[in-house]
């Protein structure tokens, strides 16, 4: 069957049947529930996900057949019913969180690195390494809406794309690893976007974030000792270097795992950043973009995540120190707790108002839940090699 | 039937049958939907609410029998399935947003002024003028959990309570109008709260807000020309005056309607406040709590609400100028649009990521929806004398 709306590398895959954890064949009455307390957990080794709820902390269902999700992320429809999961293999899978089944799955690229959903919930954008560029799909049908190959230079080579996030006004922003350029694709006037290109973003930008207000786009640089920043509210958009030379003049450490910029926290007027290769998190003033402090931590930080109220920062670490979590009290800038959840703590997700945090402990095949006031474990759930955890409250956030 | 868990002034009321707007007797399969895009609209004159969804902008159902909801507000359960509506008559009504019906309704006080839900979703607190104090209920059953009469002075008079909001860690904070005190009720160790009292909050605090990070509690004062502030992250909690004398030395205007502090916006390091009685909104630095600017507006502001990204402030006005909305571009501090939606624009609510805003136009018996990029009306829905609009995304926010 030829589907002209799909690019020639995309294909519609067979939908595999979900495995029920509870009673088989739940009725619509049994499935009737709110979706604000739902979430999913990536089981990376088995290509499956768990659908969970955070009120009673239970697993509702396992869904299989998602392909290679060794580096997967997810976004949610604005009604918090559907999840869109971006797999490493270019797979884009739409999940019905209530029925616990795959609605549709396509393979839209060869090597995908993440995605985003537009503020009106209508468009899903996926960032690809191979072929380099961004593809945009209809959120309802997963039909291709726009293809944006990341061409650069004289011979129109294709760049890997990184740091794809949504912006207010039906826009997406992403960055070209090979070209050091940031592009903004504006879909406000329809499905043929206007694309604005911002050059000179630095050497080998490897990831990026946008602040929760959609104003500041910050890019991590692999090829330079610093970061770059765009004030998206400015009349003229330009990339400017910040924290230049933050590791300069000191002995560099080998980097065991690149930190995730999604994990950068903004709290009480400070950005909290995992320092690449260093046993430190950096504090940066959110107005002046200058370093204000460093906090020494146990290992090389991967995620430095703020509790939703911003009073605590929870940090996990690269191997071989990835059995540990440290909790920083931001007002005093002190480490108030060192936890040892177990081997390979890969990811954390806070409940929407931050009373609890869930964390994947891959080596223990479990997800642990902690009370963020007492810092004590309150529950754990079995999971097969869990990695990313994504709660539906992300549906309501800009740039997640 | 005696129910010892209800206070002696509370009574269980009969639940009135909902009126179906669409087909009668929807099946569970038809009701199966996400709850992240739902909301409710208060129809103040008829004691009814409309349940709406913001994806296709439709009304799903009208629910009647909520009593006097002339000054009503609402909070949501953390799964975004249930709404709790606080009526002026002391009514507390739990609504099932999926089934479109009243689950339970109690009259818990004589004159109620608003409520809050704890961060774990387990407790509902209601603030009462009469009898003065706060009552706390189980969110599941609406059984009374704790009664906190607002006693003050030598003869234990009861104060009206205002400015009740939730704080992280199963806490509520509220303020005593007559005593000028703020109380924090800490339920973290169970259902018998520890209560901390902060005196000297100023003369006749009439309303309060907490910032989205749960850190700053700011109280409006009716009896003084200024506000008071508590840094809730400080080791010693104390009330400090801010913006003292912001209207001093100038001719005072009569106040046609008190501004709502819930409408205070925090955006890009600035608070935006409706100035009492003045045709101005005030900007206040969110670190130093000093005035940085004033913006002249069309009338006496009631709500000054930030679009979720904080780039725009939408302002409505007290009578007789309540047919108008002004939109302020915060970076330039200019009014970029003056809209005339119609008679008596009472309230606004943004969609969670801010692409649209809904507003109640009471005198036109309709709710209008605007695109926040083009500032054009995109839809309108009939409603009977609509006032407050509350979307389920509030479930995930601190202090709303």
pLDDT per position as a tens digit, A334-357: 999 999 999 999 999 999 999 999
> Is residue A241 domain-resident?
no
> Is residue A177 domain-resident?
yes
Taking CB atoms and an 8 Å limit, are B35 and A35 in contact across chains? yes
- Please name the helix (run of DSSP H) or strand (run of DSSP E) that holds residue A197, with its range, or none: strand A194-198
**Amino acid A12: pLDDT:** 32
> Is residue A162 domain-resident?
yes
- For chain B, what's the residue count? 400
Report helix, strand or coil for B314: strand
Beta bridge partners, A104, equal A94
* Arithmetic mean of pLDDT, B246-252: 57
| A190–chain B Cβ distance below 8 A for any pair | no
| Portion of chain B with pLDDT greater than 90, in percent | 75
| A377–chain B Cβ distance below 8 A for any pair | no
- How many angstroms separate the CA atoms of B128 and B87, rounded? 10
pLDDT of B400 above 90: no
Distances (CA, A) of A199 to A214, A289, B298, B305: 20, 20, 42, 35
Q: How many CB atoms lie within 10 A of CB A216?
A: 20
- How many angstroms separate the CA atoms of B117 and B123, rounded? 6
**Amino acid A397: pLDDT:** 95
> Is residue B9 domain-resident?
no
Pick the residue of A33, A78, A272, A331 with the most B CBs within 10 A to test the interface with B by mutation. A78
Chain B partners of A353 at a C-beta cutoff of 8 Å?
78, 119, 166, 168, 396-398
Residue B190 structure tokens: 């169970």
* Largest interatomic CA distance in chain A: 64
Residue of B176, B164, B167 lying closest to B233 (CA atoms): B167
- For chain A, what's the residue count? 400
Report helix, strand or coil for A23: coil
Taking CB atoms and an 8 Å limit, are B35 and A353 in contact across chains? no
Q: Which of B27, B215, B309 sits opposite A213 (nearest CB)?
A: B309
Chain A partners of B28 at a C-beta cutoff of 8 Å?
27-29, 31-32
> How many domains is chain A built from?
1
Taking CB atoms and an 8 Å limit, are A355 and B170 in contact across chains? yes
Report helix, strand or coil for B364: helix
Taking CB atoms and an 8 Å limit, are A398 and B353 in contact across chains? yes
| A27–chain B Cβ distance below 8 A for any pair | yes
Q: Which of B27, B79, B355 sits opposite A168 (nearest CB)?
A: B355
**Amino acid A265: pLDDT:** 73
Pick the residue of A27, A31, A34 with the most B CBs within 10 A to test the interface with B by mutation. A34
Beta strand B133-138 with B270-274: parallel, antiparallel or unpaired?
Answer: unpaired
| B35–chain A Cβ distance below 8 A for any pair | yes
Contact in structure between A150 and A160 (CB atoms under 8 Å): yes
Contact in structure between A323 and A332 (CB atoms under 8 Å): no
> Is residue A335 domain-resident?
no
Structural domain that includes position B173: 60-199
**Amino acid A249: pLDDT:** 46
Taking CB atoms and an 8 Å limit, are A396 and B398 in contact across chains? no
Long-range contacts of B318-324 (CB under 8 A, 24+ apart): B318/B255, B318/B256, B318/B257, B319/B256, B319/B257, B319/B344, B320/B256, B322/B346, B323/B363, B324/B298, B324/B299
Beta bridge partners, B205, equal B221
Q: How far is B112 from chain A (nearest CA, A)?
A: 25
Chain A partners of B170 at a C-beta cutoff of 8 Å?
355, 373
> In CATH, what number is assigned to the domain containing residue B170?
2.130.10.10
DSSP strands (E only) in B97-149: 101-107, 111-117, 123-130, 133-138, 144-149
Contact in structure between B90 and B105 (CB atoms under 8 Å): no
Chain A partners of B51 at a C-beta cutoff of 8 Å?
none
pLDDT in tens, B196-242: 999 999 999 988 989 888 999 999 888 888 889 999 999 999 999 99
- How many angstroms separate the CA atoms of B358 and B58, rounded? 12
**Amino acid A255: pLDDT:** 60
| A348–chain B Cβ distance below 8 A for any pair | no
Q: Which of A28, A120, A352 sits opposite B29 (nearest CB)?
A: A28
pLDDT in tens, B272-325: 988 878 899 999 998 889 999 999 999 999 999 999 999 999 999 999 999 999
Residue A112 structure tokens: 């995908």
Q: How far is A33 from chain B (nearest CA, A)?
A: 7
Residue A157 structure tokens: 């080579």
| B241–chain A Cβ distance below 8 A for any pair | no
pLDDT of A13 above 80: no
Chain A partners of B215 at a C-beta cutoff of 8 Å?
268, 309-311
* Arithmetic mean of pLDDT, B89-110: 95
**Amino acid B4: pLDDT:** 36
Stretch 274-333 of chain B: residues touching chain A, C-beta under 8 Å: 286-287, 307-311, 331
Residue found by looking up tokens 């309230």 in the block: B347
Q: What is the mean pLDDT of chain B?
A: 89
Q: Which of A34, A166, A268 sits opposite B77 (nearest CB)?
A: A34
């Amino acid at each position: 069957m030829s589907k002209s709306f799909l690019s020639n590398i995309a294909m519609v895959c067979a939908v595999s049947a979900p495995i029920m954890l509870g009673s088989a064949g739940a009725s619509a009455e049994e499935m009737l529930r709110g979706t604000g307390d739902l979430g999913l957990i990536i089981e990376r080794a088995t290509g499956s996900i768990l659908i969970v709820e955070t009120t009673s902390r239970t697993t509702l269902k396992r869904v299989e057949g998602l392909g290679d999700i060794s580096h997967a992320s997810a976004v949610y429809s604005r009604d918090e019913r559907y999840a869109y999961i971006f797999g490493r293999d270019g797979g884009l899978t739409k999940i019905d969180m209530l029925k616990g089944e795959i609605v549709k799955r396509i393979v839209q690229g060869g090597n995908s690195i993440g995605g985003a959903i537009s503020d009106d919930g209508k468009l899903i954008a996926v960032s690809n390494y191979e072929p380099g560029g961004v593809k945009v799909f209809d959120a309802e049908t997963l039909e291709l809406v726009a293809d944006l190959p990341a061409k650069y230079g004289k011979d129109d080579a294709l760049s890997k794309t990184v740091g794809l996030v949504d912006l207010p006004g039906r826009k997406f922003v992403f960055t070209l690893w090979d070209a050091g350029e940031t592009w903004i694709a504006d879909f406000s006037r329809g499905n043929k976007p206007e694309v604005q290109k911002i050059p000179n973003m630095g050497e080998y930008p490897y990831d990026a974030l946008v602040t929760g207000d959609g104003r500041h786009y910050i890019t991590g640089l692999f090829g330079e000792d610093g970061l770059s920043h765009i004030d998206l509210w400015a009349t003229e958009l330009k990339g400017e270097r910040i924290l230049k030379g933050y590791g300069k003049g000191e002995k560099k450490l080998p980097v065991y795992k690149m930190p995730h910029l999604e994990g950068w926290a903004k709290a009480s007027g400070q950005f909290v950043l995992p320092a690449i290769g260093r046993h430190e998190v950096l504090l940066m003033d959110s107005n002046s973009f200058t370093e204000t402090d460093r906090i020494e931590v146990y290992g090389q930080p991967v995620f430095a995540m703020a509790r939703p109220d911003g009073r605590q920062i929870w940090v996990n670490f690269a191997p071989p120190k990835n059995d540990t979590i440290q909790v920083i009290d931001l007002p005093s800038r002190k480490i108030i707790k060192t936890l040892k959840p177990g081997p390979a703590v890969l990811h954390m997700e806070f409940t929407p108002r931050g009373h609890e945090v869930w964390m994947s402990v891959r080596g223990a095949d479990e997800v642990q839940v902690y009370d963020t006031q007492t810092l004590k474990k309150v529950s754990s759930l079995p999971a097969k090699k869990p990695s990313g955890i994504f709660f539906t409250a992300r549906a309501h956030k800009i740039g997640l």
